[in-house]
Structure 1
Amino acid sequence: MAAPTPTANHAQTAAWDGAEGAYWAANHDIFEAVLERYQPAFDRAAAIRPQHRVLDIGCGTGASTRAAATIAHRGHATGVDLSSRMIDVARGLAAREGLRNISFERADAQLHPFEPGHDVVISQTGAMFFDDPEAAFANLARSLRPAGRMILLTWQSADQQEWLDAFTLALTGRTPPQPPAGAPGPFSLSDPARVTALLERASFTAVELTAVRETTTYGRTVEQAHTFLRGLLGWMLADQEPARRAASLDALRATLATHATADGVRFESAAWLITATRS
């Protein structure tokens, strides 16, 4: 029997290889659609070539890995994630698309001994959950060839996200609190100065952050979005009495209805496209 894959971040491992990862795997089509409007800008920044070897960090169910493999058709794309269930879904989706130059592995990017010599490391909202980003980015630098490139998509600060304000206000009646600076989570890489310092200490140069704004999609219809978010954010309702909980869910449905379009239920968002080169 193979030895278990070592992990460093036990809290994130418990979440992503547990109930949270299972929910993402079960709702992969909606989760993958959330970021789909960022994909063109991300592809341009990544500048993947047909012969490239690409490493995708926090790949989830593999949308960005599949996109990379399609471009790098003479090379190879490897996706890694902490979630066993999401990796299983990613393998199935890649097989369904007939992609042969692609592989997936459950691994902790902070310490996994990646094969060196990759041309490009990519991550779409997957690099913000390291509990030791110094070690993680140093490890990713070692996975790259000299002058290899890293491209990250990370969220800008919480106060720039319409979706976060709207969902939290509807379900709790309050605006969301500011997350602790630098703590593992969606906004840990939102400060450009911190990001630049982290990457430069990890042997990256030419670090650039480009602001991008797109709408994010949470379902094709109001009812689909409501069901999806009720499952995803149900923890916000845990302490509410039944009548209050029902009112909160009604408020969420009303909020979603005001953002329904012919292309799905959409909210404004703001992200950073981060590019860096291994020295």
Structure 2
Amino acid sequence: MLCRSADLIAEAHASGSGIAAFNVITLEHVQAVADAARRTGQPAIVQISQNAVRHHGGDVMPLAAAAGAAARTGGTRLALHLDHVEDFALLHRTAECGASSVMFDASRLPDAENIAATREAARWAHGQGLFVEAELGEIGGKGSAHTPGVRTDPADAARFVAETGVDALAVAVGSSHAMVSRTAELDLQLIERIREKVPVPLVLHGSSGVPHTTLRAAVKHGMTKINIGTLLNVSFTRAVRATLAQEPEVVDPRRYLGPARDAMTDAVADCLLALTTSDSP
């Protein structure tokens, strides 16, 4: 069923567990998330980024419609979220496209402008009944929240949330976007310190590069929403390459998109189960 992101995130936050959110680009991505959620019995959030919208000619509706249909017919709990939205035009289509939450990203702006833009985005979104996530970005002149080596200051994070009114905050604790190997090391003590200062759920971007055991530790220390995207694309591309290498004469895309979808489904299911697995003996 199509759920509200706020409900899935609140449930995870209250129980100290994690909710996985997967970025999708194609119909096969959407199907993979829905099939994996059904296979594992776990809820998930389907995310469409502004970059994905740009790839589809600037129209969010077709991919959002596919995600909504998959949720309504999939027999599991899925929510739809718009990710890394940088302009107000797309922000204002959030509810229209069926999404119940949005990550508004003004992190490229200077401190004061970032806060002002994010505050305005949150004010508008809350008026529509939407859940709003943001990224700390350039608070304190630290640079992008996901520049290697950058870390979020807990006091800055608390101030940002108080001044913008956002419902969740993505913080920089050691992960990076677009990692293709699981080698990221997270600062678990920093996560705990931020959690103590910040009253809203914390979000980990760049989770594709984080080992499962570290993701579970991050959740235990205070992370709630776990964003995963590149991992699906790695699985997709690897499967396509393998199929075409074995059968170079293939021209029917169904012959390689099918295995690619299956590979992504396995990857998503692995992540969903990893977040529910205990490392205790």
Return the TM-score normalized by structure 2.
Answer: 0.33
Return the TM-score normalized by structure 1.
Answer: 0.33
Specify which structure has the higher proportion of helix.
2
Specify which structure has the higher proportion of strand.
1
